Amino acid sequence: MQRLLFTVTAQDQGWQLYEGEHGRFWFNDRAEALHTAGVIATNLHSQHGIRSAVVMDMAGREAVVISRHG
């Protein structure tokens, strides 16, 4: 079964949150980006049963799974 990934990546002027392959939101603060991704992923799973995960892109290194839902 597939899992919808929310990926936080560093950009020149802050942090971008991707939903799958689509950039959705920009943040100045990494903690705010991770918190928002976690809230969205948690709600998708609890309200709609959609399996999701929050991932932190480590700029050319292996990505880190922050949380999984479902």
Q: Are 45 and 4 in contact (CB under 8 A)?
A: no
The pLDDT, as a whole number, for residue 60 is 81
Identity at 28, one-letter amino acid code:
N
The pLDDT, as a whole number, for residue 25 is 95
- Kindly list the averaged pLDDT for each block of 10 residues, start to end, along the chain of length 70: 91 93 94 97 95 93 93
Q: Are 54 and 66 in contact (CB under 8 A)?
A: yes
Cα-Cα-Cα-Cα dihedral sign, residues 8, 65, 35, 46: positive
Q: How far is CA 39 from CA 3, 5, 46, 58, 59, in A?
A: 16, 13, 11, 21, 23
